[in-house]
Structure 1
């Protein structure tokens, strides 16, 4: 934010004069300064939404080309450039995108620049989208692993025609590392969400080869959850099948417990019944229920099982839980907040 000593008298007046009705014409000649100020930027953004063609052109001419790169990377200025992409003419959008050519990688990796690149992808013509793809293609993995650049790659998958995303072949052989990466897992999910089957089927094959590993991974578990919730029936069933006979064990893991909850929610009725039987038919009786109740992660899976179970299985679950609660109450050391939330859930079903 600018220090008051560095502000022009006009900007200082704008910030302090609350009675004057300000219009875009009042700040002409000072557009760049206003764009770099928190309050001035917000004012210009609002006015651009309803500005005349002539007003938009005057704002544009003050910014392009001399000040465009400065504002793209500015904490407040980037929003003004985004508004120009949204509300400018097609010619203005084309020129704005042209100013970024040769610098798309650097801008994509910059905190504010990446937002402008994403907005550009949303607003420009397909040929210019393709130009951005070509510029980033040699640096795709670098962008994916970048905290800002990964958002640009996700936006390309969302908005650019799949046939122009020629870099997808680079994912082959790298699916497990991508799925296990804090940003790579997000990019992979967008690929599964937006790209046609012919492009993602080799990636899905690689995912099936390491399903259990990814379920237990800090970031890979999100990809597995995505496949269970949004995947094609065959792929969903294949992922869920890896949990059969392992539900209680996997429920105790910090990350795969999330996948177990998702599987209970989205499995078909027969598979869900099998999973819940793994819990209630364990020997000795209620062993699995007791184990899950006391576990920091499995207790959430148990609660999900209660919610999604058919009435007969729910009754058995609740009976076993109540039996274990009675035992655990005698040992206050073993009583914790997990059990309190389970008790609340039982009260909910007792009132039905």
Structure 2
């Protein structure tokens, strides 16, 4: 099985483990343990090892396999075949699971575990301590972003531990929000964080609207804020749009003008106008009306001007027709 990746040999061993006597099964397990790591990381060998962790085998047999894994759990968990063995071990008795978890964990499986005999091991506190200073970079990773979200909102009970993670991510907002996976984490904070955390994240995003509103990925987090329809953050967004863009070279024109000239930014304007009240719409209109020539010079700008013109027409009709 190890040398030639023989599928038929693997099937034969699996059948023997299922049907053999206790003594014969024990000899097979001992033979597998001798080449344990090679078997676990093999295309067909890993199936034999998994069978050793299942029903017919005794607890002693399973302990032999798990002890063979000691010191190599990280290596196995990141191997495309070895990871299945680690996950199978996490389905065993609690004492066996603890041996695996104490060294490392396959995240999805650890999330599903329940502990009955005594308190659960302090998994998330250890994780938080180990990853301190690395949460922001982890949030920007495809699978790491899921770990961050699961840790913060589904499995961590201590408010202080959550605060540490959120602080690290928001302190590195510029890096995280412009990343495909990081933006997912930011949106999760906005939607599922408590009121204070959600508002803090929202205001940080709004304060950087000129930059984030024109960015292909970051704009999604701003759209998420508007989708939440929080009156306070919506008013803050309107105010920011009306402010001069200090980063613009065009005489510090209002932020809304630069947004309107961008396909991404125009999405923000289209999202906020239907929600805005009369006073907010008036403020936005006052901010753009001096730049209509500039805006009509591009497709997205023309679209924004059309939206405002239609809005003004509707207001006039409402005034004329009681």
TM-score greater than 0.5 by the shorter chain: yes
* 1:191 paired to 2:151: yes
Task: Find the aligned partners of 1:317 and 1:90 in 2 and give their Cα distance.
Answer: 74
Give the C-alpha shift of residue 101 in structure 1. Answer: 3.2
* 1:266 paired to 2:234: no
* 1:163 paired to 2:122: yes
Larger Rg: 2
Give the C-alpha shift of residue 132 in structure 1. Answer: 1.5
State the secondary structure of the residue aligned to 1:190.
Answer: helix
Give the C-alpha shift of residue 261 in structure 1. Answer: 1.9
CA contact (8 A) 2:145 2:185 kept: yes
State the secondary structure of the residue aligned to 2:183.
Answer: helix
Structure 2 unaligned residues grouped into runs of 5+: 115-119, 245-250, 311-322
Matches of residues 213-252 of structure 1 in structure 2 within 5 Å?
A: 213-217=175-179, 219-252=181-214
Task: Find the aligned partners of 1:251 and 1:94 in 2 and give their Cα distance.
Answer: 55
Give the C-alpha shift of residue 175 in structure 1. Answer: 3.2
Task: Find the aligned partners of 1:82 and 1:314 in 2 and give their Cα distance.
Answer: 63
Q: 1:328 to 1:163 in 2, by over 3 A?
A: same
Task: Find the aligned partners of 2:285 and 2:177 in 1 and give their Cα distance.
Answer: 30
CA contact (8 A) 2:135 2:165 kept: yes
Residues 55-102 of structure 1: CA deviation (Å, up to 9, x unaligned): 9833995984528655643456657866886x7469569455455334
Match of 1:125 in 2: 93
Match of 1:297 in 2: 264
Task: Find the aligned partners of 1:245 and 1:287 in 2 and give their Cα distance.
Answer: 13
Q: 1:157 to 1:33 in 2, by over 3 A?
A: closer
CA contact (8 A) 1:237 1:267 kept: no
Residues 244-303 of structure 1: CA deviation (Å, up to 9, x unaligned): 443343211233212212222236233224324544x5689x965554354243344445
Task: Find the aligned partners of 1:81 and 1:171 in 2 and give their Cα distance.
Answer: 32
CA contact (8 A) 1:293 1:302 kept: yes
Q: CA RMSD in A?
A: 5.1
Residues 290-336 of structure 1: CA deviation (Å, up to 9, x unaligned): 543542433444454467x257699889999xx9xx989986xx448
Structure 1 unaligned residues grouped into runs of 5+: 1-5, 12-29, 36-43, 45-53, 137-150, 347-352
The TM-score normalised by the length of structure 2 is 0.61
Among 111, 135, 142, which residue is 1:175 paired with?
135
Match of 1:146 in 2: none
State the secondary structure of the residue aligned to 1:227.
Answer: helix
State the secondary structure of the residue aligned to 2:224.
Answer: helix
**How many residues in Structure 1 have an aligned counterpart in Structure 2?**
278
Match of 2:77 in 1: 108
Q: 1:113 to 1:244 in 2, by over 3 A?
A: same
The TM-score normalised by the length of structure 1 is 0.57
State the secondary structure of the residue aligned to 1:225.
Answer: helix
CA contact (8 A) 1:250 1:256 kept: yes
Task: Find the aligned partners of 1:335 and 1:162 in 2 and give their Cα distance.
Answer: 58
